[in-house]
A and B are shown apart, each in its own frame.
Chain A
């Protein structure tokens, strides 16, 4: 869909025509949104803050997966393993080498990139279902490694992660850590947006849309498919590291294939090939269980509960309702939340003269 620009808003330079936000209003709204988010710790309780922090680090990893799946057209069902690797790498660096956490998080991202590249090199030659199986193998290999490598992860017992600190200021409460995650999230989303509007980002999309003509345009397919894996792993590693220093404890149990599938769910629901879609999908996937939980809590002990004699079934109903919501969503909005958001914006821009 072409972006709608208000009449009279003429661009007089190429610089003005290549901004991230199409209009000054949309840019101001985005800045206001970040400022509002920054005020959240002052008003929200601990529970909601923990949910928002979760959304923060998960959405960074989801964005990484979207770069790989949505923008480059490669599939990965081993994303959680990279997320986990980053989650262990950062505490390993800070515990064993005394590297400050503020530095160990990006370093963990770089380490995860290296691992991602190793698995990305063979994957660059595979496509579709074959790649899915190859990444499934990556998931199990890395998961197994994390479970066994006691020197690195503390084995099945897991490992303690130090809290994030900067210049002696310790971000050990939810209120404080919220800002760490927010800063990382904004930075990572801006970086991804810049990437997608420059040479290598275009090359990734070109590889997805028509790899034969991409190659004729001078794009080295192997290089870009592998690079996409590396970038995606970097994002996963950062997300994982932020997760580790939030809980201040990591164990291998949290990074199973189930989380990989959830990451895929986030980007499909949010919108493949959409940067903001990655965030929207993460919000959806994190809030949906909360919403369903609230509904079942409200039902419990109520008239419907008594009439149908639901009792224990309620918790199952909750799981089923989550599944149902996702299926319904995919049927009615297969292009994702980002697409729906665009349509909503277009509707109000043209209202009341939509035809």
Chain B
């Protein structure tokens, strides 16, 4: 690797005053109203409703197959809810496509790595700037004769700030597909950050990481939230991390919301315990199922 010096950003990113204990009051940045999602006969989500306040670090937890990723996909636009609606900054975004949602400030990472494998790390992150850049195939082709060059360089600077933040300097010019798992996860976070989102969705950012990498990632997420002022929605299985850094937690099981609240409260919740211990829970018994099968549901 070449060791070109990195220009340090002069000013730190705009800090937003957030109190980790009591999230900012006011209008929610995101709201899901009675979101249901069905795939044929499979109910992935059933009437899930919640709202996220600006500046919050909001976690969604639940056993495997609970519908966590389906919920995030409804926020990011991968799936359109069968029923219900999703609102972002007070606006109904249910009908928007994923690329339209990216331009209004929703960014995400994926559970399974979804980097552009043949591009360099730098280019991967630059793709995140897509909706912020204005040059097109004509001005881009004319590079020196248009504003494209200046614009690209300005955004390169912004990208370098993210590279600095996530400690990716040494892999800047490496091809993304050749990197190790933990680094790729960080590159993915960098790419999502490059979108300059107000709401960032992290789908299992710590899956498959060792303790040290998890600690680093937890630090980055807290910084994203506190220093960069992004509202974070996180799916994570590591309860220690979730309980430590989340402001609020929502628990899903079998596509239904079974609890929502402060981490400690959720941890004590009876329904949550049952969900994780695999016990039967009356809140999960579907009225339709109950009608079909009177008596105990196995």
Contact = CB atoms under 8 A, between A and B. Distances in A.
B119 A198 contact: no
B110 A213 contact: yes
Interface stretch (B54-62, B94-102, B256-264): B94-102
A287 interface: no
A2 B99 contact: no
B195 A11 contact: no
Contacts of B128: 217
A195 B153 contact: no
Contact of A209 (B102, B117, B131, B140): B117
A192 interface: yes
B191 interface: yes
Query: Chain B CB within 10 Å — which of A217, A220, A221 has the most?
Result: A217
Q: How large is the interface on B (under 10, 10 to 19, 20 to 34, 35 or more residues)?
A: 35 or more
Interface stretch (B1-9, B32-40, B238-246): B1-9
A36 interface: no
Contacts of B107: 216
A200 B99 contact: no
Contacts of B2: 5, 9-11
Nearest to B126: A202
Contact of B103 (A191, A218, A273): A218
A181 interface: no
B115 interface: yes
Given A12-B5, A17-B4, A194-B140, A218 B102 contact: yes
Contacts of A216: 76-78, 98-99, 102, 107-108, 110, 114
A42 interface: no
Interface string B121-143: 00100111111010111011111
A208 B136 CA distance: 18
B87 to A, nearest CB: 19
B140 A200 contact: yes
A24 interface: no
Given A14-B157, A215-B97, A199 B136 contact: yes
Contact of A217 (B77, B78, B102): B102
Contacts of B127: 202-203, 206, 214, 217, 219
Interface string B11-23: 0000000000000
A215 B153 CA distance: 24
- Is chain A's interface secondary structure helix, strand, loop, or mixed overall? helix
B174 interface: yes
A83 B54 CA distance: 54
A15 interface: yes
Contacts of A161: none
Given A2-B174, A11-B4, A209 B78 contact: no
B140 A214 contact: no
B152 A210 contact: no
B117 A18 contact: no
A108 interface: no
B207 interface: no
Given A206-B119, A213-B110, A201 B156 contact: no
Q: How large is the interface on A (under 10, 10 to 19, 20 to 34, 35 or more residues)?
A: 35 or more
A1 interface: yes
B175 interface: yes
B120 to A, nearest CB: 8
Interface string B238-275: 00000000000000000000000000000000000000
A227 B77 CA distance: 23
B281 to A, nearest CB: 34
A2 B148 contact: no
Contacts of A227: 137
A212 interface: yes
Contact of A215 (B4, B98, B126, B137): B98
B142 A194 contact: yes
Query: Chain B CB within 10 Å — which of A11, A14, A214, A218 has the most?
Result: A218
Interface in B173-190: 173-175
26 contacts: A10-B3, A14-B7, A15-B149, A17-B4, A17-B156, A18-B153, A194-B141, A195-B140, A198-B135, A198-B139, A198-B143, A205-B116, A205-B118, A209-B118, A209-B119, A210-B114, A212-B110, A216-B77, A216-B99, A217-B195, A218-B102, A218-B130, A218-B195, A219-B99, A227-B137, A231-B137
Interface of A: 1-3, 5, 9-12, 14-15, 17-18, 191-192, 194-195, 197-203, 205-206, 208-210, 212-221, 227, 231, 273
Interface of B: 1-5, 7, 76-78, 97-99, 102-103, 107-108, 110, 114-119, 123, 126-131, 133, 135-137, 139-143, 148-149, 152-153, 156-157, 160, 173-175, 191, 195
Going nearest first, the 5 A-B pairs with the smallest beta carbon separation are A198-B140, A218-B102, A218-B131, A209-B116, A213-B114
Given A9-B2, A200-B135, 19 more contacts: A5-B2, A12-B4, A15-B149, A18-B153, A192-B141, A199-B148, A201-B137, A201-B140, A202-B130, A203-B130, A205-B119, A206-B116, A206-B130, A209-B115, A209-B117, A215-B102, A216-B114, A217-B127, A218-B99
